[in-house]
Amino acid sequence: MSPEFWRGRRVLITGVTGFKGSWLAMLLTSMGAKVSGLALPPPTEPSLFASARLGDVVDWVDGNLLDLARVTDVIQAKKPEVIFHLGAQALVRLSYEQPVLTFATNVMGTVHVLEAVRSSPATRAVVVVTSDKCYEDRPLAPAYQEDDPLGGHDPYATSKACAELVTTAYRRSFFATGGPSVVTVRAGNVIGGGDWARDRIVPDVVSALAARRAAMIRNPDAVRPWQHVLDPLVGYAKLAEALCQLRGRVRTAWNFGPELESMKRVSCLAGTICKVWGGGAAWERHAGNHPHETATLRIDSRRAKTELGWAPRLSYGTAVEWTAGWYRDVFEGADARARTRNQLDAYAELAA
């Protein structure tokens, strides 16, 4: 990332009150960017947005992506040069419970952002964040590449594939000969301090361990590409820089995943967190019937490595250590903002 590029740059983040949105806001404001946000109030209590006091440094506007007029008004008022569209219903299990909300938010929310961008001459780059789950579910396939077929089994995965198609349609129909560069990005399963969403492995495990009980794991044999949240976010930022500097000469879809050694079973992640936590922490298999989830996810990030010069900086072990350590320290009374900033500084030293 280039601090010179981001210093004073007007940025809008949809979903800024969520886990990834909060980390991205802290990252960009640390570089001197002028960050605005469009999002509903924080979706969890506690939340990283609140505990890190991001309202002090982010111009957050309370707004629903399903309200086209609101989205348009905010984008016209803030005049962002770069937009990161992270706003979404991001939980697989909730997508089974509320499929209509999931499709509405993830598909029409994307439509509304891109429609509003059509009347935003200040905007030069739009990064639409989808998911590694947007690919057609092929458990025995090698790591997914950006040109592999889109699909999905559950409502969440399919809604993200739809968001990919929406973005492609808007790019070809309205931005092919002018306006901003518009791309999609697909990250692995991100972990990091400050995620409090229910039915996610890290919040479920650390909440159980903090309460001195065993963590219950529903799909311990599922394989996922685990990565610290800062690795893909830095990739998104590097891509936005390239979009502004090389318009029309940047590919339209990008994977930002970890190295192969970070593709581990859920049981391995839970066990590593327990080991870092200490004190006899343990996990157990959650018996019962659970909704279908993809058994194995692997994504190939060679495009980002060769064409952007991006690479994940944190190993699997370091990512888990930083994550578990963040929660342990915050549960013991550490300031969430200071703890998050310390990890940002440590990451910057690694990158340098």
Reported as a single tens digit per residue, the pLDDT across 301-348 is 999 999 999 999 999 999 999 999 999 999 999 999 999 999 999 999
- Identity of the amino acid at 179: G
**Percent above pLDDT 70 for the chain:** 97
79-97 pLDDT, tens digit each: 999 999 999 999 998 999 9
Residue 287 pLDDT exceeds 90: no
Count the Cβ atoms, other than its own, within 10 Å of residue 55: 14
Placement of tokens 């659970």 in the chain: 290
- Residue 296 DSSP code: B
**Integer Cα distance of 4 and 9 in angstroms:** 9
Average model confidence (pLDDT) across the chain: 92
* Total domains, the chain: 1
- Which CATH number covers residue 150? 3.40.50.720
Count the Cβ atoms, other than its own, within 10 Å of residue 102: 24
**The overall pTM is greater than 0.75:** yes
Give mean pLDDT, residues 251-275: 90
Query: Which has the higher per-residue pLDDT, 207 or 126?
Result: 126
331-342 pLDDT, tens digit each: 999 999 999 999
Residue ranges with strand state E in the chain? 10-14, 34-39, 59-62, 82-85, 125-129, 181-187, 189-191, 215-217, 223-228, 253-256, 263-265, 283-285
**Integer Cα distance of 161 and 169 in angstroms:** 13
User: Do 130 and 144 contact (CB within 8 A), yes or no?
Assistant: no
SS3 178: coil
Containing domain of residue 213, as a range?
Answer: 3-351
**Integer Cα distance of 197 and 336 in angstroms:** 16
Token pair of 342, please? 């310390």
Pairing of strands 263-265, 223-228: antiparallel
